[in-house]
Structure 1
Amino acid sequence: MTKITPLFTKMPLHFHLSLLLLLNHAQSQTLPHDQEQAVLLKLKRYLENPPFLSHWNPSNSSHCSWPEITCTKGSITALAMVNTNITKPFPPFICDLQNLSKIDFQMNHLPGEFPKSLYNCSKLEYLDLSQNWFVGKIPDDIDRLSNLRFLILGANNFSGDIPASIWLLKELRSLQLFDCQFNGTLPAEIGNLTNLEILYIFNNNLIGEIPETIGDMLALEEVALYGNQLSGEIPSGFFTLKNLRLLFLYRNRLSGEIRMPAVVEALNLTILDLSQNLLTGNIPEDLGKLKNVTGFALQMNQLSGPIPESLARLPALVDFVVFSNKLSGTLPLDFGLYSRLETFQVASNSLTGRLPANLCYQGKLVGLTAYDNKLSGELPESLGNCASLRALRISNNEFSGNIPSLLWTSLNLTMFEINENKFTGELPQRLSTNLSLLSISHNQFSGRIPAGVSSSTNVVVFNASKNLFDGSIPQELTALPKLTKLLLDQNHLKGPLPSDIISWKSLVTLNLSQNQLSGQIPDEIGRLPVLSELDLSQNEFSGQIPSELGRLRATNLNLSSNQLTGRIPSEFENLVYGSSFLNNSGLCADTPVLNLTLCYSGSLRSTKRSSVSLVLIISLVVVASAFLCLLFLVIRAHKKRNKGFDTTWKLTSFQKLGFTESNILSGLTDRNIIGRGGYGTVYRVQINHQGDFVAVKKTWNNRKLEHKLEKAFLAEVEALSSIRHNNIVKLLCCISGESSWLLVYEYLENHSLDRWLHKKNGSSAMSGSVQHAVLDWPKRLQIALGAAHGLSYMHHDCVPLIVHRDVKSSNILLDSEFNAKIADFGLAKLLINPGELATMSAVAGSFGYIAPEYAQTTRVNEKIDVYSFGVVLLELTTGKEANYGDEYSSLAEWAWRHVQVGSSVEDVLDEEIKEPCYLEEMCCVFKLGLMCTATLPASRPSMKEVVQMLLRCSGPLVYGEKNLRGYYDVAPLLKDSNRESRLDIDNDS
């Protein structure tokens, strides 16, 4: 230092000043280590010391080792706080970290307008504020962030025009403004972004045409402009972009023909989705030059003419989807021969001729959908050798001949739908063991239904209506445990019903009408727990109608045109069943409402009254004597064994209780029954003199089912005992006995949602108002939000997370204020590793609510609950039941098809509550229901996202279709390696 100082003092003054300025500038560019740490600790205090920052402790380690921080040369250059539940406004002092080049605060709850304090981050290159709660416009001077390369602001409430200054950010590589409320147009100046690689502005409300200058953006790799109101023709310049890999323009109002440039240069294009537009004309032959295309989607347009031969020779083609157009001519025979085809969807066109023989040439074909065409001839034999095939849907064509023998037993086939053709032959002795849907109605199949049909133990729907089957209904059909719908009407079946139909625990619909079946209607039908549609009309059944039939919650009952005799069960003596018993000359009723002969009328009543009284007295004496004898035997057996049936009970409490097990046990009487389910009986039990009640679920006393019941019981106890949430039913205690178990819950006065929506008949313990009152829209929206909060808690806040597996309107209970509570956890599955799929040994759930991947693969994650909740949303908005639809579809499929054909959403809303002031909210919730019931699990939102979207639907900012978050569309774009595009959005494969 002594040598340097003299030299320094001899330097000119202007050199001294320059050196001091240079040192000062260097200090301003790099904050000392402790100053940067002070900013971080200030941020921690600003966020009120959240648990996720508990490790921000300077005494433990250097802040450069904290996972939210990235340092370069000892200085902070990146700050990431992703999905950490931040609710405070964006920290205004962040740019005190002067070397920040990357800020990532996505998936939080940041409120307010775009933070202009970011302008102080002079080195900022990467900014991700997506999936927050920002509002207002993007500032007109955002170009002050001149170094930005990545600008990601999607899934917020930004509105208005996209500012022109964004087109001045020439360094941009990625611009993502998806799922906001932007309107206005895309200006020609967009072509200035010549370095842009990613352009996502989907699910907004953009209007106008796509500018031709987009063809000047030579660096573009991925373009997603779907879900807007863009019109006009598709610029041919898209097909000149050499780097373009993904082009998503679906769900707009684009029109005209698909124009191709003279020289096609977009040879790297892998997915082309132009579906759900107004495109006309022929499919261009030049599309066959895109040799790298794997996904090709043109469905739901107005395209006409033949399918070009060149498309069948695309070597990389995996998904070919062109359903719902006006295409004609024959299918190119080369399809599948040169490509690894997995999805082939050509349904709802006017195609003729045969199916190509080589669709499964590479052994990859998963879904073949060709219904509603004019295709003919026999099915290719090669389909029988297609081991990968899971779904075959070719209904409503002119196919004929025999089904390839190996196709019936194809190992992975789960959906076999060939209705309304001219197929002949007999069913084989064995069927595929994985079939869940077997629908062969309106054909010319003959012979007996073979006993081997029981090999398809996973069948959920078996529809063989309108064929030529004869013989008896095989006893083996009762061995199908998952069967929910059995349709054998309009055949030539004879003989009695199988003797063990009590095995059909899941059966919802049974239609055996227009056959020659005979014998008595078995009592067991009345004990099927979920049967709601029963049609045995136009047969030769005789004898009395079993009194047990009155136990059915039948919404559709038809026993007309048989040879039945005797008295109608009293439960059916109302106008709802006015046409259920016609043309049975031997039937009578006690009231005239059914237009049947009165059982006792005029003098006949007076002449028989005395004899009836005598018979009644004698019967009572006999019954009383038998009861006394039985009681004596029971007491003697009790004394002999020195113990009785369930004499010892063990109570395990989870809450502070104001009752004992004796209070509960004394209330388990028939008059207190309020419901029955697959796992037991539910009672309403009064626990004190103040009139307080609890709900008690008692498992069935059936030794055969003991292990299964115990497993379900323990699952429910395990799931509920640790849960404390306002929207999940409160488990008070459990009581275990020697041969039965009791679960004691809080009692909810307004019972289950399905009783209100679908006017389900209640028990004597239930108020009659439930059966007649209309649930208005504000209450329905309140219920939807409450149930969503409960499921969100289960999926995101429980450790381990809980998958309910049986979400449905009957398992959503309502308190006196119509607050919703999720109930019935007997099917719950706890996932130890969140996000990890678990495989169940059997499918559980209810028809109409079961997610397609669950029914087909039994693979479980929380997205099966999202699907089921989506069905509940459709029930709330339409008023229809989950099994609504045609003979082989559900409410979800029916709703999707309604939207796909372009019909107005308002047409399907529940007329009982549809008022102009509620239309936007109802449409919003209906569309959210569609999102939740998307075919692909990855395409559905999480329950946390569902809650946010419901809040948006119900808040002051009512969102329409273009502003609902399209998470089912975002997934493939955010995961480059994920080929799960929304090509299956029609639920057809």
Structure 2
Amino acid sequence: MSKMTSPFSKLPLSFFYFITLMPFHVISQFPATTADQTTLLNLKKLWQSPPWTASWNSSSSPCTWPEIQCTAGTVTGLLLHDKNIMDTIPPSVCDLKNLTMLDLSYNYLQGDFPKVLYNCFGLQHLDLSQNFFVGPIPSDIDQLSSLQFINVGGNNFSGEIPPAISRLPELRTLYLYQNQFNGTVPIEIGNLANLVNLGMAYNTMLSPSIIPIEFGNLKKLEFLWMTMTNLIGKIPENFGNLSSLQHLDLAINNLDVQSSTNLIGLDMSMNNLTGSIPSDFGKLNQLKVMILYSNQLSGELPPSIGQIPALETFRVFTNKLNGTLPQEFGLHSKLQYFEISDNQFTGDLPQNLCAGKTLFGVAASSNSLTGTVPESLGNCQALRSVQLFNNNFSGEVPLGLWTSRNLSSLMLSNNSLSGTLPSQLAWNLSLVEISNNQFSGPIPTGIGSWASLVEFKASNNQFTGPIPVQITALSQLSNLLLDGNSLSGELPSTIMSWKSLTSLNLARNKLWGQIPAFFGSLPDLLILDLSENQFSATVILTVFAARDYRRKKIKRDLAVWKLTSFQRFDFTKKIILSGLTENNLIGSGGSGKIYNIAVNNLGDCVAVKKIWSNGKSDHKLEKEFLAEVEILGTIRHSNIVKLLCCISSDDSKLLVYEYMEKQSLDKWLHGKKRTSSATVLSSLVHHAELNWPTRLQIAVGAAQGLCYMHHDCSPPIIHRDVKSSNILLDSEFKAKIADFGLAKILAKSDVPNTMSAVAGSIGYFAPEYAYTRKVNEKIDVYSFGVVLLELVTGREPNDGDEHTSLAEWAWRQYGEGNSIAHTFDKDINEPHYLEEMTTVYKLGLACTMTQPSSRPSMKEVSQILRRCGPIEGSEGKKAQREYDVAPLLDSATYLSSYRRSDEDDDSVACIV
């Protein structure tokens, strides 16, 4: 499924600030009062004159200071967002008698809710979000009786949400998201008659509760965000009265559906919704996105749904919907995504899905649809993916569909389609699945022009004639399934050119002649089936004899191997041991070899690390093996590679991990620099560089894995060899920490924190290794800082200059006072990412401080990185959803003023 940015993600928190704060954004042209100036200068003194107060002085008016807003010559706003404030809020703030707005978001404020603000009698806007406050929201919070906006999201507040919030009559915006509140959703919020925006998402400790029927009284409500708040039951019927509602996100709950009229986006996926889709949904004329997938919805689609004039995305897959599809889909709106797979629909696919010329994807697989594939899809140049498998379609495929210029996947298996194959395909088409149909005729010689083809699955059709020699020109071909046809003739002699082929099935045809001897030289071939043909018997007997010998040998070997499992899996040790061949070898290093082994016919793979065994180093490697088993066998985190099992004998050790398709971050960042020819690189290193959003995603994921090890494991675990080659990437570039052979568990009674030897890799060594073996988790922080610098600059860890490391080089660049933007990787140095890249660069510097105590913790590092980009969901069933309807946290970042001492002189570099 294609990834698509949520339309609501374009409405950041700043949008709501703007709407809410319009009355306050009046900058006075008059000088502020002397009393206000005195108060602010006292605040500066209390906070020890931080750098951002440099303009605060007695010779200028506070109304000219960047952090101050004035109205008619008096201070009305104090905007201290992201100022690294760690002190408490002094009572003297309320000496600003006309203060109406106080923004303290994205700082390091701690402790209980600041009741000192009760003396700010005119306070209308209060933002305490993204700090470290704890404890309950006070039961007398209604003393802030003038509040119109309050945001306490992204803290650690706990306890029940007090009913007193409902006694703030002017309140228009209430954000309580991402805290640890318990109890139920308070019904009293329904009394806030002026409420426009309500965000309570990601309060996972709330007790299961229904949406209060009283919320139906919020007639001015435009924005409701309650993702992951343990909601159950039905949506109140009086939600239909919420005539102003525009944005509704109730995802990841256990809800049951009704409607509202001004919505432009509706996401109620992965709930437990039952019943039919209300016909009133067809009245949502402004609706662009309707996402209801993975529920228990049944019944027919109301015809009015297909007539919504703004509808762009329609996703209802994995439900129990039935009946025929409204033929109006696509006629009234510029439809982009139409996804109805895994339901019970019958009849024709709508004929005009691409009438708006903007259709990117159709997914209608696993239904009972009949008729022909709509001709209009053949004229849809925007199409990227068509998934119609497991239906009852018949007739020929529209010719234009084969050649649609942007199409990358065409999946039509298990239908009754007929006709012949075209001589040309879309240049971008990499996946063609047409098995179990009635296609006939020869495989065209023009198949050699299908240059991007990776998988061609055409089993059980009626193809005839020889296998054309031109098919062997497809250098990227990985899976070729032509079994169950009527192909004849000899195999092409140029099969040896299929260097990427992993699976070849030509069974049940009429092929004859010799089986080419060079089948054994195809480096990646894992699955070969030539049965039920007319090949030379002597060759087949030889193949079977060799296979029988190997099978008996494996059986003898199995007896001496012991398997210890840590996760559920569906393969045997026989499969693993038989896969330890040179053809499956994908890497080797100081401690062993790494194999990529397919464990079933579906192509699912695991990674197997075989520990070296060579005499003197056996004791050391045994320790590494035991360390990895001890740690990975007991911890569970989505950003740490899974150890599935270990298999051991007297003289060999195997560790079996989940396979990470994209392999290591190191190869993506530096692979091209280490080879003289890009063609020598494996398919891992693709044409495009890692873009900045992907690099930031990787940094966030790796940081979360290390944060878990340092802060959530008891006792804590330090990795001791954090580096880009030990950060592995899955098919979606999700980062996972790997290789725990050098890791240590801290504070264990029988294991001192003093390391017996230096661990780690050159370029990533923390400087304290030079003078002590008594180290802590801050050595991981230092190494991770180097990884961050690699991500931003594209340089290798030892790629400074004049024999300096990357960290030393980065510090010198920063210390010279020049713009650091010139150090950024030129391949990703785009202006709109400059702020995020600068923050990550500075964070890399903070992590590589000389003194361990000056470095941030991995928890702080993780928080900073997450604030650089869009909010991520929980690690639960909907992490990293394609649509996150209301990512309220804006992209502002913060960074503590860490200082690094320079032993060569007494200067300090201050990162702000």
* C-alpha displacement of 1:344: 1.2
2:412 paired with 1:418: yes
In the alignment, which of 632, 648, 651 is matched to residue 779 of structure 1?
632
In the alignment, which of 679, 694, 701 is matched to residue 863 of structure 1?
694
Q: Is the 8 A contact 1:483 1:506 kept in 2?
A: yes
Structure 2 counterparts to residues 233-632 of structure 1, below 5 A: 233-255=234-256, 258-259=257-258, 266-494=260-488, 507-515=501-509, 519-521=514-516, 523=518, 526=521, 528=523, 564=543, 574-575=553-554
* C-alpha displacement of 1:570: 9.6
* C-alpha displacement of 1:770: 11
Q: Aligned partners of 2:528 and 2:858: how far apart in 1?
A: 38
Q: Aligned partners of 1:842 and 1:344: how far apart in 2?
A: 38
Q: Is the 8 A contact 1:470 1:492 kept in 2?
A: yes
Structure 1 residue matching 2:441: 3-state secondary structure: strand
* C-alpha displacement of 1:762: 6.3
Q: Is the 8 A contact 1:390 1:414 kept in 2?
A: yes
Report Cα offsets for 1:465-523 as digits up to 9, x if no partner. 33333444444444445444444444444556555566656555444455555534554
Q: In structure 2, do the counterparts of structure 1 residues 190 and 34 end up closer, same or farther at CA, with 3 Å as the change threshold? A: closer
Q: In structure 2, do the counterparts of structure 1 residues 434 and 568 end up closer, same or farther at CA, with 3 Å as the change threshold? A: same
Amino acid of the residue matched to residue 246 of structure 2? R
* C-alpha displacement of 1:355: 0.6
Q: In structure 2, do the counterparts of structure 1 residues 781 and 531 end up closer, same or farther at CA, with 3 Å as the change threshold? A: farther
Structure 2 counterparts to residues 700-715 of structure 1, below 5 A: none
Amino acid of the residue matched to residue 669 of structure 2? F
Q: Is the 8 A contact 2:125 2:150 kept in 1?
A: yes
Task: Report the counterpart of residue 40 of structure 1 in structure 2.
Answer: 44
Q: Is the 8 A contact 1:871 1:891 kept in 2?
A: no
Structure 2 residue matching 1:31: 3-state secondary structure: helix
Report Cα offsets for 1:283-341 as digits up to 9, x if no partner. 22222222221122222222222111111111111112222222111111111112221
Q: Aligned partners of 1:452 and 1:543: how far apart in 2?
A: 32
Structure 2 residue matching 1:185: 3-state secondary structure: coil
Structure 2 residue matching 1:329: 3-state secondary structure: strand
Report Cα offsets for 1:398-418 as digits up to 9, x if no partner. 111110110011111122111
The CA RMSD measured in Å over matched residues stands at 5.3
Q: Is the 8 A contact 1:674 1:764 kept in 2?
A: no
Structure 1 residue matching 2:305: 3-state secondary structure: helix
Report Cα offsets for 1:771-799 as digits up to 9, x if no partner. 997954843788979989xxxxxxxxxxx
Q: In structure 2, do the counterparts of structure 1 residues 310 and 138 end up closer, same or farther at CA, with 3 Å as the change threshold? A: same
Q: In structure 2, do the counterparts of structure 1 residues 115 and 971 end up closer, same or farther at CA, with 3 Å as the change threshold? A: farther
Q: Is the 8 A contact 2:584 2:596 kept in 1?
A: no
Amino acid of the residue matched to residue 156 of structure 1? N
In the alignment, which of 93, 96, 101 is matched to residue 95 of structure 1?
93
Identical pairs, percent? 37
Task: Report the counterpart of residue 216 of structure 2 in structure 1.
Answer: 215
Task: Report the counterpart of residue 792 of structure 1 in structure 2.
Answer: none
Q: Is the 8 A contact 1:319 1:344 kept in 2?
A: yes
Task: Report the counterpart of residue 178 of structure 2 in structure 1.
Answer: 179
2:124 paired with 1:125: yes
Higher deviation after alignment, 469-478 or 352-361: 469-478
* C-alpha displacement of 1:977: 14
2:200 paired with 1:204: no
Structure 1 residue matching 2:209: 3-state secondary structure: coil
Q: In structure 2, do the counterparts of structure 1 residues 162 and 491 end up closer, same or farther at CA, with 3 Å as the change threshold? A: farther
Aligned length: 661
Q: Aligned partners of 1:88 and 1:977: how far apart in 2?
A: 21
Structure 2 residue matching 1:139: 3-state secondary structure: coil
Structure 1 residue matching 2:543: 3-state secondary structure: strand
* C-alpha displacement of 1:114: 3.3
* C-alpha displacement of 1:386: 1.1
Task: Report the counterpart of residue 638 of structure 1 in structure 2.
Answer: none
Report Cα offsets for 1:350-393 as digits up to 9, x if no partner. 11111111111111211111111100111111110111111211
Report Cα offsets for 1:798-836 as digits up to 9, x if no partner. xxxxxxxxx9748878xxxxxxx9566344799xxxxxx
Structure 2 counterparts to residues 549-948 of structure 1, below 5 A: 564=543, 574-575=553-554, 749=591, 758-761=607-610, 775-776=628-629, 778-779=631-632, 809=660, 825-827=669-671, 860-863=691-694, 866=697
Structure 1 residue matching 2:210: 3-state secondary structure: coil
Task: Report the counterpart of residue 148 of structure 2 in structure 1.
Answer: 149
Task: Report the counterpart of residue 931 of structure 1 in structure 2.
Answer: none
Q: Aligned partners of 1:286 and 1:221: how far apart in 2?
A: 19
Q: Is the 8 A contact 1:674 1:762 kept in 2?
A: no
Q: Aligned partners of 2:377 and 2:72: how far apart in 1?
A: 62
Q: Aligned partners of 1:391 and 1:152: how far apart in 2?
A: 42
Q: Is the 8 A contact 1:752 1:809 kept in 2?
A: no
Q: Aligned partners of 1:117 and 1:104: how far apart in 2?
A: 15
Q: Aligned partners of 1:435 and 1:331: how far apart in 2?
A: 28
Task: Report the counterpart of residue 231 of structure 2 in structure 1.
Answer: 230
Report Cα offsets for 1:46-70 as digits up to 9, x if no partner. xxx57xx496686999876665554
Structure 2 residue matching 1:862: 3-state secondary structure: helix
* C-alpha displacement of 1:83: 5.7
Q: Is the 8 A contact 1:384 1:406 kept in 2?
A: yes
Q: Aligned partners of 1:481 and 1:106: how far apart in 2?
A: 55
Structure 2 residue matching 1:408: 3-state secondary structure: helix
Amino acid of the residue matched to residue 779 of structure 1? L
Q: Is the 8 A contact 1:226 1:251 kept in 2?
A: yes
Q: Aligned partners of 1:232 and 1:416: how far apart in 2?
A: 40
* C-alpha displacement of 1:750: 6.8
Q: Aligned partners of 1:871 and 1:521: how far apart in 2?
A: 47
Q: Aligned partners of 1:466 and 1:770: how far apart in 2?
A: 53
Q: In structure 2, do the counterparts of structure 1 residues 812 and 128 end up closer, same or farther at CA, with 3 Å as the change threshold? A: farther
Amino acid of the residue matched to residue 886 of structure 2? L
Q: In structure 2, do the counterparts of structure 1 residues 232 and 424 end up closer, same or farther at CA, with 3 Å as the change threshold? A: same
Q: Aligned partners of 1:510 and 1:869: how far apart in 2?
A: 40
Report Cα offsets for 1:711-762 as digits up to 9, x if no partner. xxxxxxxxxxxxxxxxxxxxxxxxxxxxxxxxxxxx5x47769899733456
Q: Aligned partners of 1:190 and 1:307: how far apart in 2?
A: 34
Amino acid of the residue matched to residue 759 of structure 1? V
**Structure 1 spans left out of the alignment, 5+ residues:** 1-25, 261-265, 546-560, 580-592, 595-672, 685-746, 789-806, 814-820, 831-840, 878-889, 896-937, 953-958, 979-989
Amino acid of the residue matched to residue 339 of structure 1? S
TM-score, length basis structure 2: 0.61
* C-alpha displacement of 1:183: 2.8
* C-alpha displacement of 1:342: 1.4
Amino acid of the residue matched to residue 323 of structure 2? G
Q: Aligned partners of 1:829 and 1:68: how far apart in 2?
A: 46
2:886 paired with 1:973: yes
* C-alpha displacement of 1:451: 3.9
Structure 2 residue matching 1:135: 3-state secondary structure: strand
* C-alpha displacement of 1:168: 1.9
**Structure 2 spans left out of the alignment, 5+ residues:** 1-29, 559-572, 575-581, 598-604, 642-657, 710-728, 735-832, 844-856, 864-871, 892-912
Q: In structure 2, do the counterparts of structure 1 residues 308 and 809 end up closer, same or farther at CA, with 3 Å as the change threshold? A: closer
Q: Aligned partners of 1:822 and 1:218: how far apart in 2?
A: 54
TM-score, length basis structure 1: 0.57
Q: In structure 2, do the counterparts of structure 1 residues 356 and 211 end up closer, same or farther at CA, with 3 Å as the change threshold? A: same
Q: Aligned partners of 1:209 and 1:77: how far apart in 2?
A: 40
Task: Report the counterpart of residue 550 of structure 1 in structure 2.
Answer: none
